[in-house]
Amino acid sequence: MDSMSLDRVNEIIDKYMEDQGALIQILLDVHQEYKWILPEAAKLISDRIDIPITQVYRVASFYKALSLTPRGKHLVKVCLGTACHVRGGVGVMDRVSQITGVEDGDTTKDRRFTVERVNCLGCCALGPIMTVDGEYYGKLIPEKVDEVLENYR
């Protein structure tokens, strides 16, 4: 990572310097900016807010909203909770994997998509359901997945 990129991390840290308990918010903002927590950013956060690097990694690895590996431009979440599972969620997940070429937790080589299986998206009546970048798509059938993902290519 070059110094220009670290400048943005410094700006994020500066925004929260007055708040002792801001680690999570700093990590969320860095993640929003880069789609993952870069090792250089983790080190800078550790140094600037004077906490051990192990604490930065412990927090970053605990929360599912944060990733320590690069994520794709588009985050696809497929619900496989009970309601979605019995309504065909597995077929939706299989189709997402076929289209993107990656399985649960993986990111495409071009970093266009990251695919995640989740246990609930809070819309059981609309199952099977998936989200792309927070946009909800319900009552899916595998054939409809092609159309949805085409909008994000």
Alpha carbon distance 152, 147 (integer Å) = 10
Burial (0-12, 13-18, 19+ Cβ within 10 Å), 96: buried
In this prediction, residues 34-62 reach a mean pLDDT of 95
How many domains are there within the chain? Answer: 2
Domain endpoint, select from 27, 62, 97: 62
CATH of the domain at 53: 1.10.10
Residue of 66, 150, 61 lying closest to 113 (CA atoms): 150
Alpha carbon distance 28, 43 (integer Å) = 15
In this prediction, residues 130-138 reach a mean pLDDT of 96
Residue 68 belongs to some domain of the structure: no
CATH of the domain at 95: 3.40.30.10
Question: What values do phi and psi take at 79, rounded to 5?
Answer: -80, 130
Q: Do 80 and 145 share a domain, yes or no?
A: yes
Report H helices in the chain.
3-16, 23-34, 39-49, 53-62, 82-86, 89-100, 142-150
Residue 140 lies in domain: 74-150
pLDDT-derived band at 18, boundaries 50, 70, 90: confident
pLDDT-derived band at 147, boundaries 50, 70, 90: very high
Residue 67 belongs to some domain of the structure: no
Report the percentage of the chain scoring pLDDT > 70.
97
In this prediction, residues 5-29 reach a mean pLDDT of 90
Would the pTM count as exceeding 0.75?
yes
Name the token pair of 86: 């019995």
Using the predicted structure, report yes or no on whether residue 67 has a pLDDT greater than 50. Answer: yes
